[in-house]
Amino acid sequence: MAELSIQHIDKIYDNNVQAVFDFNLDVKDGELIVLVGPSGCGKSTTLRMVAGLEDISAGKLLLDGKDITAAPAKDRDMAMVFQSYALYGHMTIYENMAFSLTLRKENPNVIHKKVLAAAEILGLTSQLNKKPAQLSGGQRQRVAMGRSIVRNPKVFLFDEPLSNLDAKLRGATRREILLLHKRLQATMMYVTHDQTEALTLADRIVCMSMGHVQQVGTPLELYDSPDNIFVASFIGLPPMNFFDVRVDGDKLVGEGFTVGLTPEEQHILQAYNGKVVVLGVRPENIAEGTDVKVDVTNNENLGMNTLVHGHIAGTGNRIVAKLKGWADYKNGDGASFSFKRKHFFDKETTKAIRGDK
Amino acid sequence: MNLNDERTVRRDRMRFIKNTQSSSLCYLGILFNVFNFVRLYMSDVGNYYYTIVIGVSIVYNLIFMLAVFLASEGVKNYKPGYSYLLAVIGVIQIVRIFIIPVPAHAAETLVNGVETTVMGNGQFMFHVVCLVASAVCLILSAVINFTKCRELAAHMKTLDAQNA
């Protein structure tokens, strides 16, 4: 398989719009990297540069140590799966999967073996004589993956492959991709704007915004230790709550509430005593308690959890709490919460405050 | 199924690959027939000798093209019955040499008061070559399809036995 090294890559279009700034990443052999970020953040552009579908304006791209920055797409030994499947409607599934190998004039018997093997992996054996129009969206996307598998490429590239599928199918296909990765042990790069996909699939996540890499890390690192406010707000559903608070010794004073700090938190914030910082609290880290009074505006029961939406009492600061179990708050009810786990961010730089840890 | 046996793999491919070899030969058979009738109908010897036969020939050519085209779709999907149809049509192509080209080659007619051969040597040879080529294509297509159908049927039987 393959190691991919993306070194200081920029993308500047002809109209001088820069889409990607100094992208750096080393993808290990067999690793599944997910590029995640909102629309227009440069993740698909980055993937297309890796695939060779976009020119690289600056920087280097190495595959197994070999410089492929200027190599045409066909010589990169990478296979890409697109959101739109890109299947040939007049060909059968078998012919679609065999097409790239037929173009390379490979031995038909070898092609046959590869197609059957890929179809077996993807559970498409019984569909091989059908046309794409006869398959469901999930099956079509599996065909698109099969077309990549038969090529046995060094790197698999996925550009939002599940975006065309409904929620149920998306979940099922996501699990299939994960199983496929485990089975093939292939190096994969996967682009999505869906953080659930990113968290469930990735060995490592690259979180991007406005063309810049915001953080690279494991799903747990991004969720538990976000580097900045953007990552903290992007990863996690519902998103993290943010409040401007002043550090006052052993407590934080916010608009309409005061919460105590543990000795460890005091240590982290010792350089910020007397200053205003941004307090971040994930909805799932909020529980019923006594620290913060909230005016409830909305209550969403999800079965296992309840999302309680409201405002800090007497202020306009919105807050969302994800409480365990079933809760029956109504619009106008008062609630009282405590923050179990807190994240701190510098108000000026938006970077996480982690003390000297 | 033993995928290391190339013969088995070749047979197994037929489950997913259409019989384009036979269908292509059918198209080629039609093409040679088109050459044949276009050249025939271009003939202008004034008082034409075989007017009625030519009329029948036009009708037959239409039927021929329709039948062979349908057969080409049939053999593409490994339908063994179309092999018989193609073989019969192929034989008729040979017989057709003796219906128009041979008599016309031997016959003479008056054109502007001059006795002229209805079909000269060059044209005669052209028709013979076209009809023979068309017949060979169709018969070959029939044989290939028949052989492949038998192979595929045997292979499917083996697969069914393995799955049972």
List, for residues A207-234, the tens digit of each pLDDT value. 999 999 999 999 999 999 999 999 999 9
Q: Report the pLDDT averaged over residues B147-159.
A: 94
Residue A10 has pLDDT above 50, yes or no: yes
Residue that the structure tokens 């031997």 belong to: B106
Is B157 within 8 Å of chain A by CB?
Answer: no
Average pLDDT, chain B: 90
pTM of structure: 0.80
Q: Which domains does chain A have, with CATH numbers?
A: 4-234 (3.40.50.300), 241-346 (2.40.50.140)
Is B7 within 8 Å of chain A by CB?
Answer: no
Structure tokens at A275: 């200053």
Q: Tell me the longest C-alpha to C-alpha distance in chain B.
A: 80
> Any idea which of A56-60, A126-130, A178-182, B105-109 has the lowest mean pLDDT?
B105-109
| ipTM surpassing 0.85 | no
pLDDT value at residue A173: 85
User: Rounded to an integer, what distance in angstroms lies between the CA atom of residue A168 and that of residue B156?
Assistant: 37
Structure tokens at B136: 């060979």
The string of pLDDT tens digits covering residues A275-334 is: 999 999 999 999 999 889 999 999 999 989 999 999 998 888 999 999 999 988 888 899
Sign of CA dihedral A46, A47, A52, A54: negative
Q: A94 contacts in B (CB within 8 Å)?
A: 16-17
Nearest CA in chain B to A114: B3
pLDDT value at residue B45: 60
Nearest CA in chain B to A111: B13
Torsion angles phi and psi, residue A293, rounded to 5? -90, 135
Average pLDDT, chain A: 92
pLDDT value at residue A356: 59
Nearest CA to A278 out of A252, A253, A242 is that of: A242
Nearest CA to A37 out of A214, A176, A168, A265 is that of: A214
Residue that the structure tokens 């590239």 belong to: A157
Structure tokens at A113: 């073996």
> How wide is the angle at C-alpha A113 spanned by C-alphas A173 and B8, nearest 5°?
135
CA B153 to chain centre: 25
pLDDT value at residue A357: 47
H or E element in which residue B101 lies: helix B101-106
The string of pLDDT tens digits covering residues A259-271 is: 999 999 999 999 9
Structure tokens at A136: 């469901």
The string of pLDDT tens digits covering residues A187-202 is: 999 999 999 899 999 9
Q: Say how many Å lie between the first and final Cα of chain A, rounded.
A: 37
Residues of A with CB under 8 A from a CB of B: 92, 94-95, 108-109, 112-113, 115-116, 128-129
How would residue B139 be classed by pLDDT, with cut points 50, 70 and 90?
A: very high
Q: Tell me if A129 and B10 make a contact (CB, 8 A cut-off).
A: no
pLDDT value at residue A128: 95
pLDDT value at residue B49: 57
H or E element in which residue B148 lies: helix B121-163
Cβ distance A61 to A38 under 8 Å?
Answer: no
